[in-house]
Amino acid sequence: MIRTWRLDGPRQTLALGSRDNRLARVIYWGPRLPDDEDMGTIYDAHKIDVTGGMLDDNPELTICPESSRTFPGQPGLVVADGDGAPLFARFGYESEVLGENHLSLTFSDEETGLVYTAHFVIDPVTNILEAKAVLEANRPVRLHWLAAPVLPAPQYSDELIDFTGRWCGEFQTATTQWSAGGRYRNNRTGRTGHEAFPGLIVPCRGATNTQGEAYAFHYGWSGGHRMVAEELPDGRRQVQFGHANGTETEPGTRFDTATLYATYSDTGLNGCAVAYQRHLRDRIVKWPNPDRPRPVHYNCWEAVYFDHQLPVLKDIAARAATLGAERFVLDDGWFGMRDDDTRALADWQVDPRKYPDGLGPLIDHVHSVGMAFGIWLEPEMINPDSNTYRLHPDWALGYRDQILGRQQMCLDMSNTAVRDYLFEQFSDLLTNNDIDYIKWDHNRVLPMPDANQPRGTYALLDRLREAFPKVEIESCASGGGRIDFGILQRTQRVWLSDSNDALERLQIQHNAALFLPLAITGSHVGPRECHTSGRVLDIRFRAWVAAQRHLGFEMDPRELTDEEAQVLTQVTTWWKHNRDWMTRGDILRLDSTDPAVTAEQQMAVDGSRFVVFAGKAATSAQVSPRPLRLTGLDPAAQYRLDLANREDITGLSRGTQGLKDGPIKVSGRYLMTQGVTLPWSFPDRMWVVEGERI
């Protein structure tokens, strides 16, 4: 007996089938099928053949491949009884719930007392497919591995792109070829990590940023993920995502995976990117004030570090406001005896040596110059050299002789006493001070990964958000060490990287745009000489790179020359003028044919306008800039194009050429075929081209 189900979105269909009450498997995932497609036929047509030297039938690649059914690859579930004896379930159909955009399927196994449920939802607007699995048991069992519903990867694909990185170098792509066996990632750091953003892109043959087919996956969890992308001996391919191995440290009767966000695109990698950007911004993130324009930030970290002096901070705040900043974020160093990073974490009382009258005078001043006030916290951490540790050494997570990270330990966030303490501290802080923003940091990995830790953090965040619904929160972990849709259900911005080096940022934020929209991606103009790379970069480049995302400043404004201040003010004014549509728009990565140029087109949702940022990260091999093809335009429409920063043309650009002298009017067809020809420029410069549909 065959059962089939289908879920449709505007551009994709997910079809599942099950025979003889067995666990379901995906029989089709790709472009939307005709409504009258016969699912029974698809079920049969999808089967692969049987030949010599093998079993008499192919073990099914189900949504949770079972070890009990001679499945030749990685199983979707590894679970043991309370006494450690492995349990090999053979699930049978139990029930289903099918709605317009959602499907839940439940299967049970009497012998092991296990029940497995898979939930699927296709968002009809953003095109994201959400999938999650739940395992229930009739007594406490030990879970080693549970995959979110397993999806097939396309055959018409040669490679996989997943993510690696490091401090100050997040979102690096790692490309591997499909071959027999698997690409396996198991992030045991206990947090999302710089080195393991939980994403995967499977481009089909010939796909680029702007064209072709691609599939993409993201696992929305902050405790470290495991990914298996595997090709079986028979050629079938599976993609599994779940919590990192063995991070469910206690027996339980119910385990939930986090949500796997997946999508199919027929408009290249950008189709996936736009789906994630919109889903994150419009579905995942809860905005306290949805209509409030994203304020320009000023963050004082790289200006003063731990050296907080009220008159200096006031001076800096006034200067930042003059440059156009709208929110001042007081970073690390305001509490306890926090004169450097060796001490005081978890002592969340204002330092009376630095702030004898509390934070009030600084906050009042910041407000008086027209900015809102935000503050840095690192709630999940404790320094052994802190009053809190001396009082509660048992609150720290892990063994006493563990290797410290930045001289600190993690607090045990599964301990309710710890969470209550933190809640009270922050509750006091937020009640007694007019603070509208928290930069929530997490500067070390866990001593041992444990899913209860992110759960505890989520619980504290949820409690604080409920008590202070107007406060926005930024997720930071030494820069981009905790960026995922799990933490972003509770936060509104990410500190993408500790690198304020515009050259590095250009690439980091370009790759991050495969998942992250402008609205949540912080990007700051750093000091003239970058503190993490030593590079000296021109203010124009620093400012325009930051203006590609949620703009902020992080240099000491006292270092700015008049000319630098003027450029910064000008770019900030431009950003404020455009932020409304850019915040709601899409970031499309362009297929630059010059490896020296990293380019993107930010497009208004209605297609009426766009801006192209073409960042030149090196000197080109060829003499003149290669034309840059645009994307997503109406071929028949005419567009008016103009350089937003014409004043940046240097004397070494000597030719006469369309855009140099003034705006041009050309068709979408021309721009998407021939492309835009830009003036010659130095490396470490950005061209900004504004486009408007006529």
Q: How many residues bind ligand DGJ (CB under 6 A)?
A: 11
Closest residue to ligand DGJ, Cβ-based? 332
Q: How far is the CB of 333 from ligand DGJ (least distance, A)?
A: 8
Q: Looking at 222, 277, 475, 478, which residue binds ligand DGJ (CB under 6 A)?
A: 478
Q: How far is CA 169 from CA 123, 303, 509, 523, in A?
A: 32, 22, 10, 14
| 335 forms part of the interface with ligand DGJ (CB under 6 A) | no
The DSSP symbol for 533 reads T
CB of 375 to ligand DGJ, least distance (A): 11
Residue with tokens 């009767």: 253
Distance CA 218, CA 241 (A): 8
Exactly one of 120, 163, 261, 301 binds ligand DGJ (CB under 6 A); that residue is: 301
Of the pair 326, 331, the CB lying nearest ligand DGJ is at 331
Instruction: Report helix, strand or coil for 322.
Output: helix
| 479 binds ligand DGJ per the rule CB under 6 A | yes
**170 vs 331, beta carbon nearer ligand DGJ:** 331
Q: Three-state DSSP class for 377?
A: strand
Question: Residue 130 and residue 137: Cα distance in Å, rounded?
Answer: 24
CA pair distance 235, 228, nearest whole angstrom: 15
Q: Quick one: 301 or 574, whose CB is closer to ligand DGJ? A: 301
Instruction: Catalogue the E-assigned strands of 444-509.
Output: 472-475, 493-495
Is 199 within 8 Å of 257 (Cβ atoms)?
A: no
Report in angstroms how near the CB of residue 479 gets to ligand DGJ at its nearest: 5
What are 22's two structure tokens? 């067995």
How far is Cα 376 from Cα 495, in angstroms, rounded to an integer?
Answer: 12
Q: What is the DSSP secondary structure assignment for residue 411, as one 8-state letter? A: B
Active-site pick, 123, 162, 331, 441: 441
Q: Which is nearer to ligand DGJ, 332 or 347 (CB)?
A: 332
**Closer Cβ to ligand DGJ, 443 or 592, answer by number:** 443
Q: Check binding of 376 to ligand DGJ (CB under 6 A).
A: yes
Q: Are 524 and 509 in contact (CB under 8 A)?
A: no
- Does residue 126 bind ligand DGJ (CB under 6 A)? no
**Residue 624 to residue 681: CA distance in whole angstroms:** 9
Query: Residue 298, interface with ligand DGJ (CB under 6 A)?
Result: no
Q: Considering only residues 493-512, where is the footprint of ligand DGJ by CB under 6 A?
A: 495, 498
Q: Which of 130, 441, 450, 564 binds ligand DGJ (CB under 6 A)?
A: 441
Q: Is 315 a catalytic site residue? A: no
* Residue window 21-40: x/- pattern of binding to ligand DGJ, with contact defined by CB under 6 A: --------------------
Provide, rounded to whole angstroms, the least separation between the CB of residue 330 and ligand DGJ.
Answer: 10
Radius of gyration of the chain (CA): 26
Measured from the CB of residue 442, what is the shortest distance to ligand DGJ in angstroms?
9
Single out the catalytic residue among 109, 123, 347, 498.
Answer: 498
Cβ 443 to ligand DGJ, closest distance in Å?
5
Q: Please answer whether residues 380 and 455 qualify as being in contact, where contact means their C-beta atoms are separated by less than 8 angstroms.
A: no
Q: Minimum distance from CB of 440 to ligand DGJ (Å)? A: 10
Contact status: 331 vs ligand DGJ (CB under 6 A): yes
Only one of the segments 39-47, 134-142, 475-483, 603-611 lies at the binding site for ligand DGJ (rule: CB under 6 A); that segment is 475-483
347 binds ligand DGJ (CB under 6 A): no
Q: Do residues 452 and 458 make contact, with C-beta atoms less than 8 angstroms apart?
A: no
Which of these segments, 125-133, 150-158, 269-277, 471-479, binds ligand DGJ (CB under 6 A)? 471-479
Give 332 or 472: the residue with its C-beta nearer to ligand DGJ: 332
Q: What is the C-alpha separation between 190 and 521, in angstroms, rounded?
A: 23
Question: What is the closest distance, in whole angstroms, from the C-beta atom of residue 476 to ligand DGJ in the complex?
Answer: 5
What is the Cα–Cα distance from 114 to 112, expressed in whole angstroms?
Answer: 5
Q: In which element (H, E) is residue 342 found?
A: none
Residue type, 407: Q
The nearer residue to ligand DGJ, 257 or 478, going by C-beta atoms, is 478
Smallest separation, CB 555 to ligand DGJ (Å): 13
- Choose between 301 and 613: whose C-beta lies nearer to ligand DGJ: 301
Q: State the minimum distance, in angstroms, from the CB of residue 350 to ligand DGJ.
A: 17
Amino acid sitting at position 527: P
Based on CB atoms, which residue is closest to ligand DGJ, 157 or 408?
A: 408
Which of 332, 436, 501, 564 touches ligand DGJ by CB under 6 A?
Answer: 332
By CB under 6 A, residue 443 contacts ligand DGJ: yes
Residue 264 vs 495, nearer CB to ligand DGJ: 495
CB 252 within 8 A of CB 196: no
* Class of residue 173 by CB neighbours under 10 A (exposed 0-12, middle 13-18, buried 19+): middle
Part in contact with ligand DGJ (CB under 6 A); list of ranges 4-12, 107-115, 419-427, 472-480: 472-480
CA 235 – CA 51 distance, rounded (Å): 14
The region of 131-139, 473-481, 574-582, 638-646 touching ligand DGJ under the rule CB under 6 A is: 473-481
Q: Which of 227, 184, 224, 75 is nearest to 216 (CA)?
A: 227
> Quick one: 526 or 679, whose CB is closer to ligand DGJ?
526
In the complex, minimum distance from the CB of residue 445 to ligand DGJ, in angstroms, rounded to a whole number:
14
Cα angle 356-358-361, degrees, rounded to a multiple of 5: 95
- What ranges make up the beta strands (E) of 331-392? 372-377, 381-382
Burial of 189 (0-12, 13-18, 19+ CB in 10 A): middle
The enclosing H or E element of 63 equals none
- Helices 539-546 & 502-512 angle (0-180, nearest 10): 20
Q: Does 687 bind ligand DGJ (CB under 6 A)?
A: no
Which range touches ligand DGJ (CB under 6 A), out of 78-86, 362-370, 476-484, 638-646? Answer: 476-484
Q: Extract the tokens encoding 107.
A: 């299967």
The three-state DSSP-derived secondary structure of 104-116 is EEEEEECCCCEEE
In the complex, what is the shortest distance from the CB of residue 406 to ligand DGJ, in angstroms, rounded to a whole number?
8
- Out of 260, 321, 372, 476, name the contact with ligand DGJ by CB under 6 A: 476
Name residue, tokens 């939980």: 198
Minimum distance between the CB of residue 381 and ligand DGJ, rounded to whole angstroms? 10
User: 496: which 2 tokens?
Assistant: 């993408």
Q: Which residues of 47-59 are buried (b: 16+ CB within 10 A; e: fewer)?
A: eeeeeeeeeeebb
Q: Which is nearer to ligand DGJ, 148 or 461 (CB)?
A: 461
Q: How far is CA 108 from the centre of its chain?
A: 35
Instruction: Give the C-alpha separation, 220 to 632, whole Å.
Output: 28
Nearer to ligand DGJ, 276 or 335 (CB): 335
Q: Is 332 a catalytic residue?
A: no
Judged by CB under 6 A, the stretch of 13-21, 191-199, 238-246, 474-482 that binds ligand DGJ is 474-482
Instruction: Enumerate binding residues for ligand DGJ (CB under 6 A).
Output: 301, 331-332, 376, 441, 443, 476, 478-479, 495, 498
| Residues labelled catalytic | 441, 498
